[in-house]
A and B are shown apart, each in its own frame.
Chain A
Amino acid sequence: MSGTITHASTVAWLRAFAEVAAERRDELTELDAAIGDADHGVNMDRGMQAVVAGLDDPGEADGATPPSIGTLLKAVGMTLVSTVGGAAGPLYGTLFLRMAGAAGDRTELTLPEWAAALDAGVAGVQARGKAELDDKTMVDALRPAAAELAAAAAEDAPLADALRRSAAAARRGMEATIPLVARKGRASYLGERSAGHQDPGATSSWLLLDAAARTLTGDDDGGAGGL
Chain B
Amino acid sequence: MKKLINRPEDVVREALAGVALAHADLVKVHTGPDYIVRADAPVRGKVGIVSGGGSGHEPMHGGFVGSGMLDAACPGEVFTSPTPDPILAATKAVDGGAGVLHIVKNYTGDVMNFEMAAELAEAEGIAVDAVVIDDDVAVRDSLYTAGRRGVGATVLAEKICGAAAEQRRPLDEVAGLCRRVNAQARSMGVALTSCTTPMAGKPTFDLGTDEIEVGVGIHGEPGRERRPLATAHNVVETLASAIVEDLSFSAGDSVLAFVNGLGGTPLMELYIVYNELHAFLESRGVTITRDLVGSYMTSLDMAGCSVTLLRLDDELTGLWDAPVRTPALRWGV
- Interface residues of B, CB < 8 Å — how many? 25
B77: CB under 8 A from chain A? yes
- Interface residues of A, CB < 8 Å — how many? 25
B139: CB under 8 A from chain A? yes
Across the interface, B81 reaches (CB within 8 A) one of A85, A184, A189, namely A85
A-B contact pairs, 15 of them (CB 8 A): A81-B84, A82-B83, A86-B81, A90-B84, A91-B112, A94-B116, A128-B116, A184-B108, A184-B146, A185-B108, A185-B146, A186-B146, A189-B222, A190-B222, A191-B145
Contact in complex: B108, A186 (CB < 8 Å)? yes
Enumerate chain A residues within 8 angstroms of B238, measured Cβ to Cβ: none
Enumerate chain A residues within 8 angstroms of B85, measured Cβ to Cβ: 81-82
Give A94 Cβ to nearest chain B Cβ, in Å: 7
Sample of 7 further A-B pairs with CB below 8 A, known A81-B85, A86-B81: A82-B84, A83-B83, A85-B76, A90-B116, A129-B108, A183-B145, A184-B146
Contact code string B101-113 (vs A, CB < 8 Å = 1, else 0): 0000001110011
Give A140 Cβ to nearest chain B Cβ, in Å: 16
Contact in complex: B77, A85 (CB < 8 Å)? yes
Contact code string A63-89 (vs B, CB < 8 Å = 1, else 0): 000000000000000000111111101
Contact in complex: B80, A85 (CB < 8 Å)? yes
Across the A-B interface, the 7 shortest Cβ-Cβ residue pairs: A90-B112, A188-B145, A87-B109, A86-B109, A87-B108, A82-B85, A185-B108
Which residue of chain A is the closest to B219 with respect to CB atoms? A37
Give B130 Cβ to nearest chain A Cβ, in Å: 14
**A contacts with B: majority SS:** helix
Enumerate chain B residues within 8 angstroms of A85, measured Cβ to Cβ: 76-77, 80-83, 109, 113
**B contacts with A: majority SS:** loop
* B81, B146, B222 pick with most chain A CB within 10 angstroms: B146
Contact in complex: B112, A128 (CB < 8 Å)? yes
Give A54 Cβ to nearest chain B Cβ, in Å: 15
Enumerate chain B residues within 8 angstroms of A90, measured Cβ to Cβ: 84, 109, 112-113, 115-116
A103 to B81, CA, bound (A): 30
A186 to B11, CA, bound (A): 24
A108: CB under 8 A from chain B? no
A210: CB under 8 A from chain B? no
Enumerate chain A residues within 8 angstroms of B107, measured Cβ to Cβ: 186
Contact in complex: B146, A81 (CB < 8 Å)? no
Give B138 Cβ to nearest chain A Cβ, in Å: 9
A93: CB under 8 A from chain B? yes
Contact in complex: A189, B80 (CB < 8 Å)? no
A93 to B113, CA, bound (A): 10
Contact in complex: A186, B115 (CB < 8 Å)? no
Contact in complex: A39, B80 (CB < 8 Å)? yes
B225: CB under 8 A from chain A? no
Contact in complex: A189, B217 (CB < 8 Å)? yes
Contact code string B210-222 (vs A, CB < 8 Å = 1, else 0): 0000000101011
Enumerate chain B residues within 8 angstroms of A86, measured Cβ to Cβ: 80-81, 109
